[in-house]
């Protein structure tokens, strides 16, 4: 359980900086700040996935609540406008917790009112429950929905074309239906109260986080009217918001089932480290297992399903929590996506169109994910039927050459791209400006290539194809020899980041860690230790790893401003929590290579110390989640998405595999 301390409940800025989120297994979500002030265009109480997991639209932004007890009437809501925050309902807040659902308690006079929010699993439906915990008598609760009905990347503006009046649903007492645009989605709203129609537009809601990102920051919302509910002490009522064509039934049972499901996500008996239990719940947010085909949302609130992010996150999202059936379905879908050795990088969120395949590393991470799946499950039949054919297709396409000038050089290394393409995870660009050009032979791509060849060799041997296994092991040995000759920089005792015929990039970046972290002993022990020493000294910060050494003239330690400013810093010093997984895996692999229990134990202890700041990180930005990025300079402010799949997944994987030593050994 995450329970905010009382000292924070009187601090509006602290409450507004902390964001909560729940989802439904389809990619839809409900999210906002603890104070109730919407700071992002992406906040909403019903953000439906109309083409799961994509097609996300903010349908209902929020509910305004007002409590009336005898002669006392107080609002519980809060809004930011351009020059004011009004009302200030957060002043009545006495409790906020995730246990596991988000739960608020407000005290108004002698009344103590509780609210919880959850989404119905597999439905675009949000349920808000209100319970009057204490009061000398009944209260009146006024609930006014505010609606947007727009793509979640955009803002709504008042317009005469919207039908903002609600229609009653005769066969459903207490239910109204809103459909502002012909052929667009509709929302049914239900409560046990009386609905009073008063359609109107409210103008000028201000989203501070959008302003800080250099984007348009204001929108207009409409309200169809308000529900007035009566609550007696000890009584609960529900407000239902659904984009489905039916209302959910047995709401109490649905809520109990969702609470039980979320609590069961953490393995029993409970892990000794409570942070691990929270991460088991955290990674559930990203798995859209109920979508067809299943997918992973890379980050909330704005990222779509990305191939690279999915496959990097795969072990922490699926294998560590033992979601093996879902893992098999996901890998089956990705195996079908393989074309010319390529995999999708980003699937479009809305409006149709083709998936982008501008990634050289997503196919490499598929090779890694396939190996790890078999190591966890022992499912050699699935490997033989599905995984190995897809792996061979990737390897053979890369060897002979495929899109984006991805090809194997005569020395066995993989080269990719040109000055105008960004194919690795460091892909930030604005217009025609590429901020981190890495065309040629990137270091982590070739580390992944080496490990991928050994993965294919290992699986071939495990499935009885010794001839193929020998072929791929010999190819991997050739890559290792070339890698050591081309990438080692004796002047820095580190690896070059990118190698081309005419250039070797000496920048100290975290990509070198993968040459140590991945199995197969690509470097010597001495080289691996040297990489770790420099990364520890120049890149490692509390709970993240910088993308560039502060000693580099191109380093940027702050992240903010307009898109150009943010993109220029994205991989030029900004720190990424997910890279801790590569760092801890590297630490433990080097410790194990020393061959003594003492060395391995010390390595696992060092890996554990990397997560000393985890408890604080889970309670200061996205509640229960790790952020996408952090600033490279102290105090290392969390920025970007407040919940990121590979950040949570790699933290869970590292704590279980690298620190606790739980799970199959990843040796080749």
CATH classification of the domain holding 275: 1.50.10.10
How far lies 92's CA from each of 60, 75, 89, in Å? 24, 9, 6
Question: Do 201 and 111 fall into the same domain?
Answer: yes
In this prediction, residues 121-136 reach a mean pLDDT of 98
Which residues span the domain enclosing 354? Answer: 270-659
| Tokens coding 157 | 């503006």
Domain stops at, among 240, 261, 282: 261
Domain stops at, among 230, 261, 292: 261
Question: Do 436 and 564 fall into the same domain?
Answer: yes
Question: Do 346 and 460 fall into the same domain?
Answer: yes
Question: Do 183 and 330 fall into the same domain?
Answer: no
**Reported pTM:** 0.96
- CA angle (646, 52, 581) in 5-degree steps: 5
Question: Do 289 and 247 fall into the same domain?
Answer: no
Answer yes or no: is 12 within a domain. no
Question: Do 418 and 442 fall into the same domain?
Answer: yes
Q: What is the pLDDT of residue 353?
A: 59
Mean pLDDT of the chain: 96
Q: What is the pLDDT of residue 270?
A: 63
Answer yes or no: is 512 within a domain. yes
Question: Do 245 and 385 fall into the same domain?
Answer: no
In this prediction, residues 294-300 reach a mean pLDDT of 97
String of DSSP letters for 349-382: SSS--PPB---SHHHHHHHHHHHHHHHHH--HHH
Question: Do 103 and 146 fall into the same domain?
Answer: yes
Answer yes or no: is 493 within a domain. yes
DSSP secondary structure letter of residue 17: H
Q: What percent of the chain has pLDDT over 70?
A: 98
pLDDT tens for residues 243-269?
Answer: 999 999 999 999 999 999 999 998 867
Q: Which residues contact 665 (CB under 8 A, 6 or more apart)?
A: 375
Q: What is the pLDDT of residue 420?
A: 87
Answer yes or no: is 281 within a domain. yes
Domain stops at, among 213, 238, 261: 261
In this prediction, residues 474-491 reach a mean pLDDT of 98
pLDDT tens for residues 368-407?
Answer: 999 999 999 999 999 999 999 999 999 999 999 999 999 9
Q: What is the pLDDT of residue 350?
A: 55
Answer yes or no: is 13 within a domain. no
Question: Do 240 and 291 fall into the same domain?
Answer: no
Question: Do 253 and 299 fall into the same domain?
Answer: no
pLDDT tens for residues 337-367?
Answer: 999 999 999 876 654 556 789 999 999 999 9
pLDDT tens for residues 15-71?
Answer: 999 999 999 999 999 999 999 999 999 999 999 999 999 999 999 999 999 999 988
Measured CA to CA, the distance from residue 569 to residue 603 in angstroms comes to 32
Answer yes or no: is 495 within a domain. yes
Answer yes or no: is 430 within a domain. yes
The total number of structural domains in the chain stands at 2
In this prediction, residues 634-641 reach a mean pLDDT of 97
Cα 413 → chain centroid: 32
Q: What is the pLDDT of residue 355?
A: 74
Question: Do 355 and 455 fall into the same domain?
Answer: yes
Question: Do 255 and 287 fall into the same domain?
Answer: no
Answer yes or no: is 608 within a domain. yes
CATH classification of the domain holding 162: 2.70.98
């Amino acid at each position: 359980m995450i329970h905010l301390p009382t000292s924070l409940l009187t601090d509006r800025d602290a409450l507004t900086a902390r964001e909560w989120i729940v989802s439904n297994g389809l990619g839809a979500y409900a999210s906002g700040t603890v104070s109730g002030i919407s700071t992002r265009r992406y906040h909403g109480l019903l953000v439906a996935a109309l083409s799961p997991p994509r097609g996300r639209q903010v349908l209902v932004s929020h509910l305004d609540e007002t409590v009336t007890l005898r002669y006392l009437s107080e609002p519980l809501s809060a809004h930011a406008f351009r020059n004011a925050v009004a009302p200030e309902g957060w002043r009545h807040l006495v409790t906020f917790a995730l246990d596991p659902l988000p739960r608020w308690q407000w005290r108004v006079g002698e009344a103590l009112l509780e609210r919880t929010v959850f989404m119905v699993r597999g439905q675009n439906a949000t349920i808000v429950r209100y319970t009057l915990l204490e009061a000398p008598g009944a209260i009146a609760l006024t609930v006014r929905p505010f609606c947007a009905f727009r793509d979640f990347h955009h803002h709504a503006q008042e317009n005469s074309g919207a039908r903002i009046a609600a229609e009653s649903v005769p066969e459903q007492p207490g239910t109204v239906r809103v459909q502002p645009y012909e052929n667009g989605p509709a929302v049914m709203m239900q409560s046990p109260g009386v609905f009073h129609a008063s359609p109107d537009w409210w103008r000028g809601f201000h989203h501070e986080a959008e302003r800080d990102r250099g984007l348009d920051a204001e929108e207009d919302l409409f309200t169809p009217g308000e529900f007035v509910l009566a609550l007696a002490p000890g009584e609960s009522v529900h407000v239902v918001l659904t984009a489905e064509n039916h209302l959910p039934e047995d709401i109490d049972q649905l809520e109990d089932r969702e609470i039980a499901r979320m609590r069961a996500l953490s393995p029993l008996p409970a892990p000794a480290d409570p942070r691990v239990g929270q991460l088991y719940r955290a990674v559930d947010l990203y798995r859209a297992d109920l979508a067809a085909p299943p997918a992973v949302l890379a980050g909330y609130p704005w990222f779509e399903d990305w191939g690279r992010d999915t496959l990097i996150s795969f072990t922490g999202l699926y294998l560590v929590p033992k979601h093996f059936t879902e893992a098999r379905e996901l890998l089956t879908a990705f195996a079908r996506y393989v074309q010319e050795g390529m995999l999708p990088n980003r699937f479009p969120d809305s409006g149709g169109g083709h998936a982008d395949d501008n990634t050289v590393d997503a196919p490499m991470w598929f090779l890694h994910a396939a190996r790890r799946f078999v190591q966890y499950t022992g499912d050699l039949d699935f490997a033989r039927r599905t995984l190995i054919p897809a792996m061979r297709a990737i390897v053979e396409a890369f060897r002979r050459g495929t899109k984006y000038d991805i090809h194997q050089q005569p020395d066995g290394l993989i080269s990719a791209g040109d000055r105008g393409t960004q194919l690795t995870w460091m892909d930030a660009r604005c217009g025609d400006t590429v901020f981190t050009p890495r065309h040629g032979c990137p270091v982590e791509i070739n580390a992944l290539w080496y490990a991928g060849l050994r993965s294919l060799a290992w699986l071939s041997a495990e499935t009885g194809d010794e001839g193929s296994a020998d072929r791929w092991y010999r190819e991997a040995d050739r890559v290792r020899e070339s890698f050591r000759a081309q990438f080692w920089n004796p002047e820095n005792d580190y690896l070059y980041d990118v190698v081309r015929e005419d250039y070797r990039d000496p920048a100290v970046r975290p990509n070198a860690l993968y040459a140590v972290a991945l199995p197969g002993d690509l470097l010597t022990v001495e080289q691996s230790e040297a990489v770790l020493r420099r990364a520890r000294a120049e890149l490692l910060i509390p709970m993240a790893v910088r993308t560039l050494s502060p000693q580099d003239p191109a380093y940027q330690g702050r992240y903010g401003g307009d898109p150009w400013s943010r993109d220029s810093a994205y991989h030029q010093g900004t720190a990424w929590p997910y890279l801790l997984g590569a760092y801890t895996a590297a630490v433990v692999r080097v410790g194990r290579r020393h061959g003594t229990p003492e060395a391995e134990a010390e390595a696992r202890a060092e890996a554990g110390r990397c997560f000393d700041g985890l408890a604080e990180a889970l309670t200061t930005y996205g509640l229960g989640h790790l952020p996408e990025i952090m600033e490279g300079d102290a105090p290392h402010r969390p920025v970007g998405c407040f919940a990121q799949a590979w950040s949570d997944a790699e933290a869970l994987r590292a704590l279980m595999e690298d620190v606790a030593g739980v799970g199959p050994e990843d040796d080749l």
